[in-house]
Chain A
Amino acid sequence: MRGLLRKILGKKDRRDGKMKLDPELVGEYRGAYLARATEERFREAGQDGGTVTALLAHALEEGYIEAAVVSTTGSDPWRPRPTVATSVEELLEAAGSKYSISPNLSALETAVGSHDSVAVVGTPCQVSAVRKLESHAYGVADVAERVKLLIGLFCSENLTYKGLTELLEKEIEADLSSVERMDITAGKFTVVTSDGEERSVSVSELRRYANEACGFCTDLTAEDADVSVGSTGAPDGWNVVLVRTGRGERILQSAVDAEVLEVRDVDEGDPATLERLASDKRERAESARCAVWRPYPTSP
């Protein structure tokens, strides 16, 4: 395994003299891979390959971090709740994507206040917000020093909880409490209910139920993260991983060396689809901007 990563890491990330994925579309990166957890329990609990949860568990066990800001499920079905996980059990409990807004950074002050080294998982906007907290530390101390690993999820848009409920009622005719699994893949939002039935709608339908603010977002792949993880462009049960910084590279390398993650060349997946989605998101933001062109604010 060590040999394989070295082979992949060592190989120049170029295809016909070009980067495998266009940095104009997915941001700067040092390496792009397919990855998944080797252990069944992470793949089972995780949304796709369980890469995020396995990587965090490894970082925790190796002492890179003492805690991780993640999103677990709150009181209502599928309602996300930001939390600070300090054990592998808590990480497993928080695994899996919840498709509504989870203000993860609201747990950041508690995390950096009580731990010397933390990881943060978040959507691209949350990742950028952590970077702003590092350089503009008006209200939260020690973010730059104590956040040791910033993991970004790919994100096309997020829904409000109300929007998610309505989407299920109107488009899918399912009740949130009967939903076993939700996923966004291959341009579809797919739901598996407890009776085993699978129903889906096109992601283009999601827009109406999404957070309006996502319409301005140009960042699909969390360009400010240390490590970005998603599923678009990966085969079923795998993740696409973009490593962007030195510290991200070290942790990923360590997880691969320890056989916590298995990696493959990103070319074995479908990088072109990822590029297309990233490019679509940039264009969509441009039109959103034109659409809301309006005088602001109105006089008091």
Chain B
Amino acid sequence: MRVALLSLMSCGSCAENLEIVCQSEGHELVWSSLRDDGEVPDVDVLFVDGAVDFADADARERLERAVSSADVVVSLGSCAATGGFERHAIGMREPARYHFTVFPAAKFADTDYAIIGCPPTEDAIASFLEALEEGDDDRLEPYRVLSGDFHGLDPNLPSPVRGPEATVEDVLLTSNKDLCLGCDLDVVERELFCTGCGACAASCPAWAIEIDEKPEIREDRCIRCGTCFATCPRSFRA
């Protein structure tokens, strides 16, 4: 596939993983804001990584222009999708507070898909690109739902959630999206749905989850990247 990358306020790990995947899987990274100037050329998919300071008019304009020229736009990594590290640990201060002017790129642009992760593993990026290339809508569904603009969602559900196998949309609606994709410092509802498998603790990039039987989240380390929630076998079905 022909791929472009717009890298905003970020650490660069997502961009690096994307480059590795493009090389190993035979996708062509035709344009990257890290090395190319000018406008985004005609590509199959534009990845946006990083967050945006809303006072930074220049960044917002670059984002807007890039997005308007692409057919498929993907938030690459949690900074772009949820604000992640950039919003919650900016300047390396305690993540418990957040930087109220920094937002995920997805807040300012319509994105079609999001790949959660800090950074998303090469496997996740490769598997997404494969699904996109094949036009496999079932496999793309979680990426589509995770890309929604959650900030304005009505927390009152149209229908109650009855069990762990709720559709990905319903489950996402139950969480506090302004801070994270999970259930506001609870990966999934602890008593009712959590089986105690430990996948969340293994996936957490910030070492913020301790698990003895059920996960305990250390708020002072959590960067609200949503990786635990997206990984949890009971957030949505694989």
Contacts and interface: CB of A to CB of B under 8 A. Distances in A.
Interface string B112-156: 000111101111100100000000000100100000000000011
B211 A294 contact: no
Interface stretch (B25-33, B41-49, B52-60, B197-205): B197-205
Contact of B124 (A103, A125, A137, A292): A137
Interface string A126-151: 10111111111111111111000000
A151 B174 CA distance: 33
A135 B121 CA distance: 11
A289 B211 contact: no
B168 to A, nearest CB: 11
A176 interface: no
Contacts of B157: 295-297
Contacts of A290: 162
A115 B104 CA distance: 35
B192 A292 contact: yes
Interface size classification for chain A: 35 or more
Contact of A137 (B123, B161, B205): B123
Given A139-B227, A211-B195, A106 B211 contact: yes
Contact of B116 (A108, A125, A138, A214): A138
Contact of A296 (B160, B196, B234): B160
B178 to A, nearest CB: 10
Contact of A144 (B123, B155, B234): B123
A292 B214 CA distance: 20
A89 to B, nearest CB: 24
A254 to B, nearest CB: 28
B10 interface: no
A140 B192 contact: no
Chain B: number of interface residues, binned into ranges: 35 or more
Q: Is the interface of B mostly helix, strand, loop or mixed?
A: loop
A108 B198 contact: yes
Contacts of A138: 115-117, 120-121, 124, 203, 227, 230-231
A33 B194 CA distance: 32
B202 A217 contact: no
A106 B228 CA distance: 12
A123 to B, nearest CB: 8
Contact of B161 (A101, A144, A161, A296): A296
Give the one of B115, B165, B198 with max A CB within 10 A: B198
B115 to A, nearest CB: 7
Contact of A109 (B123, B161, B203): B203
Pick from B118, B160, B165, B238 the residue with the most CB of A within 10 Å.
Answer: B238
Nearest to A293: B162
Contacts of B193: 213, 216
B163 interface: yes
A107 B183 CA distance: 23
Contacts of A46: none
Interface string A281-300: 00000001110111111011
Given A129-B197, A138-B121, A297-B174, A105 B202 contact: yes
A158 interface: yes
A82 interface: yes
A136 B174 contact: no
Contacts of A289: 162-163
A104 interface: yes
B74 to A, nearest CB: 14
A232 B193 CA distance: 26
Nearest to B175: A297
A160 interface: yes
Contacts of B189: 296
A204 B75 CA distance: 48
A290 B30 CA distance: 53
Interface string A67-85: 0000000000000001000
Interface of A: 82, 100-109, 122-123, 125-126, 128-145, 158, 160-161, 211-214, 216-217, 288-290, 292-297, 299-300
27 contacts: A105-B197, A105-B198, A106-B198, A106-B199, A106-B201, A109-B202, A125-B195, A125-B197, A132-B199, A132-B231, A133-B202, A133-B203, A136-B231, A137-B120, A137-B121, A139-B121, A139-B227, A140-B203, A141-B122, A144-B123, A161-B213, A213-B164, A213-B193, A213-B195, A217-B195, A293-B160, A296-B174
Given A101-B195, A108-B198, A141-B121, 12 more contacts: A106-B198, A106-B199, A106-B202, A109-B202, A125-B233, A126-B195, A126-B197, A129-B232, A132-B238, A140-B231, A158-B196, A296-B161
